[in-house]
Amino acid sequence: MTTLDDLPTPSLVLDLGILRANLAGMAAAVARHPGVALRPHMKTAKSLDVAALAAPDHGPITVSTLAEARYFFEGGYKDQIYAVGIAPAKLDAVASLNAQGASIKVIVDDAEAAAAIAAHPGPLSALVEVDVGEGRGGVAPESEALLALAATLSGRLAGVLTHAGHSYAGRSAEEMARIAETERAGVVRAAERLRAAGHEVGIVSLGSSPTALYGASMEGITEIRAGVYMFGDLFQMQIGTHAPEAIALTVLASVIGRKPEREAVLLDSGSLALSKDRSTQAAPKDYGFGLVLDLDGRPSFGETLVVRTHQEHGEVKRQDGALDFARLPAGGRVRVAPNHACLTAAAYDRYHVVDGGREVVAVWDRVNGW
Amino acid sequence: MTTLDDLPTPSLVLDLGILRANLAGMAAAVARHPGVALRPHMKTAKSLDVAALAAPDHGPITVSTLAEARYFFEGGYKDQIYAVGIAPAKLDAVASLNAQGASIKVIVDDAEAAAAIAAHPGPLSALVEVDVGEGRGGVAPESEALLALAATLSGRLAGVLTHAGHSYAGRSAEEMARIAETERAGVVRAAERLRAAGHEVGIVSLGSSPTALYGASMEGITEIRAGVYMFGDLFQMQIGTHAPEAIALTVLASVIGRKPEREAVLLDSGSLALSKDRSTQAAPKDYGFGLVLDLDGRPSFGETLVVRTHQEHGEVKRQDGALDFARLPAGGRVRVAPNHACLTAAAYDRYHVVDGGREVVAVWDRVNGW
């Protein structure tokens, strides 16, 4: 039997029970809207084993890289949206997978890219990306560009898609519900305008973990996308989409230095093991680079945080009392809850899966890179 | 012939000519000190191909993970210092490599860890880590702990080691020279105290790229460690250790969105492709998440920066004029100079090597993870 005491550190730990509960929570949120599908975004997990639970029966998924598209197609997931604006040079790879039986839909908000999709000799279809206020990719629902893109895509138009990424700035259920309604209304309006112009709009897709959880109405929507809800992190906990005990992903780390003179210990989880993400800096509470938990995943060290990182060092200090040196001997093991699960997970090629205890019940792979 | 136009994006690009020039620069800096060896830190490059140039004839190297130790030992590099405070559970792996012919020295600043080294049945040796002002790992040169650690290690004491990481806060050659002298004096003082107590101190090791380049005297030092000098980055450029044209490492990216209404373009190099490192935030000039260069690696876009990142999106704006949209069509390719080479490189499993042009003259691998 392998336990968390036997693993090399740092290692990535995923709690199966918490993962399942998070998946059930999102499934229940989506089930409030009959006829609306969940298309989980696999950019966080990047794992077939997670997909088997999050998108059962090889259901529809969302991906963020060509590497994910290939990996999940080889694992049996045909129905994908590659939800990052497409560069024309990537169309050959997508068309090749589609020619092998995949149905990978790209997204587009650019006239030149749309023309490249329309002119490509291989099997392709695309969603027009709509901007409902995030200010990243997409065209406005009321824009001329929306109609022009659809006209260019013509028979290759699969629908419309938006992402209310600005929901991450929300700090209450009410605020997120309001952003969710803006997201819904915007993408539905885009679909209506395209239909009025004579286009068939099969897919009307929206989503972010906060708006998926808090949206009151999904009228006119065919599917919801979300990803980080599977694992959760300190940022999602801060914005209210995750309970503190619902963070499924942690980094197993060892104590590699003790500095009583400055009330600090050093862990072997630094900038690479945790990522340099500082998203909680803008959240109600700043968790530095992560919250230190005990080996069972409980916050029994109080507010003990990774406050500074070097490439392979994480410096830990306690914010709400004295650091418990007796429980942090040389080589002592802890788990660190991350600021941002998507970025922390990306440093690892596998998950060590536990189920509420310290026993490693499975090892799951990940697909990184592009 | 493969060129930068043929590669998937994002990809990691390494310029061989610049790398060679950077290596020559450091070799010349170290050659100012006859009898002092260079022990390159491979934590940045993590590549046997780079080591072949940086540490010729399988010369001594520094590593930061067990994965590097194994990889470089298998590649013929026997003489290594694993320069991150050791967790006792990792000693078996080090001893196993040493039993196979490696000479991997660990570092220690903790009484319990030193006792574990002394008691281990396998072949091990250790350097005592000395803190000369960085305030990360190490014991003070004048401390009782220094003598106690050496006494515990006894015949397994290989020497002393320090790292003036606070040299990164330096902003002038004078300031770095001053920190370098503090680093030298501190670690030499530690060696003298140990010798006075009857210990043999074979290795007296110091280094960081800034102090290696700017240290005036290396009296009493046996070797210098440095790593990021090989590649350089925007932060090193800011602190004066690198000329702007001496950044060997860039990320090849494609335009995936154009937003004239907000004077921005989107690249397919986001938080994962560039890392979330923001070290230039504290430098004289804040380069956001990276500086956009043309496909030949020249700064012909002016101060065009990646100002915001999402997981797979990098938003680009120009700081010193109008963004040159005509040169940034859909799918247009650029290169991005990173804030911090060590962290950016870690997202990739290989280097695409160019030599001043766009032709890919080699593909070099990397060892990531732990």
ipTM: 0.97
Tell whether the model's pLDDT for residue A313 goes beyond 90.
yes
CB contact under 8 A, A9 and B89: yes
Instruction: Look at residue A313 and give its three-state secondary structure.
Output: coil
Task: Tell me the pLDDT of chain A averaged across its residues.
Answer: 96
Please indicate, yes or no, if residue A18 is contained in any of the structural domains: no
> What is the torsional sign of CA B4, B7, B8, B13?
negative
At residue B331, φ and ψ (nearest 5 deg) are: 85, -5
CB contact under 8 A, B313 and A137: yes
B151 near A CB under 8 A: no
Which of B180, B200, B230 represents a domain boundary (last residue)?
B230
Q: Minimal Cα–Cα distance from A103 to chain B, Å?
A: 21
Tell whether the model's pLDDT for residue A256 goes beyond 90.
yes
**A 231-290 → B contacts, CB under 8 A:** 254-258, 262, 266, 268, 271-273, 275-278
Q: Minimal Cα–Cα distance from A34 to chain B, Å?
A: 31
Instruction: Specify the pairing of strand B249-259 against strand B304-309.
Output: unpaired
* Residues of A in Cβ contact (< 8 Å) with B256: 84-87, 110, 113, 137
Please indicate, yes or no, if residue B176 is contained in any of the structural domains: yes
Q: Structural domain of residue B101, as residue ranges?
A: 33-230
Residue A326: which CATH number? 2.40.37.20
Domain count, chain B: 2
**B 198-227 → A contacts, CB under 8 A:** none
B95 & B199 share domain: yes
- Residue A284 has a pLDDT of 87
A96 & A134 share domain: yes
A313 near B CB under 8 A: yes
Please indicate, yes or no, if residue B17 is contained in any of the structural domains: no
B207 & B253 share domain: no
Please indicate, yes or no, if residue B8 is contained in any of the structural domains: no
- Residue B172 has a pLDDT of 86
Range in A117-126, A258-267, B235-244 with the lowest mean pLDDT:
B235-244
A256 & A215 share domain: no
B208 & B172 share domain: yes
| Angle at B308 (CA atoms; ends B305, B314), nearest 5 degrees | 75
B365 near A CB under 8 A: no
Give which of A181, A315, A331 is closest to A256, Cα–Cα.
A331
Q: What is the pLDDT along chain B (370 residues), one digit of tens a residue?
A: 999 999 999 999 999 999 999 999 999 999 999 999 999 999 999 999 999 999 999 999 999 999 999 999 999 999 999 999 999 999 999 999 999 999 999 999 999 999 999 999 999 999 999 999 989 999 999 999 999 999 999 999 999 999 998 888 888 889 999 999 999 999 999 999 999 999 999 999 999 999 999 999 999 999 999 999 999 999 998 888 888 889 999 999 999 999 999 999 999 999 999 999 999 998 889 999 999 999 999 999 999 999 999 999 999 999 999 999 999 999 999 999 999 999 999 999 999 999 999 999 999 999 999 9
- Residue B239 has a pLDDT of 86
A129 & A227 share domain: yes
A209 & A270 share domain: no
Residue A98: which CATH number? 3.20.20.10
A205 & A252 share domain: no
Which residue among B65, B90, B266 places its CB closest to the CB of A137?
B266
B74 & B173 share domain: yes
Which of A200, A231, A262 represents a domain boundary (last residue)?
A231
B130 & B175 share domain: yes
- Residue B245 has a pLDDT of 87
A138 & A225 share domain: yes
Tell whether the model's pLDDT for residue A165 goes beyond 90.
no
Residue of B nearest to A135 (CA): B262
Tell whether the model's pLDDT for residue A167 goes beyond 90.
no
Please indicate, yes or no, if residue A237 is contained in any of the structural domains: no
A165 near B CB under 8 A: yes
> What are the pLDDT digits (tens) for A186-201?
999 999 999 999 999 9
Please indicate, yes or no, if residue A59 is contained in any of the structural domains: yes
Please indicate, yes or no, if residue B348 is contained in any of the structural domains: yes
Which residue among B88, B276, B310 places its CB closest to the CB of A275?
B276
A100 & A227 share domain: yes
Please indicate, yes or no, if residue B239 is contained in any of the structural domains: no
Which of A201, A231, A261 represents a domain boundary (last residue)?
A231
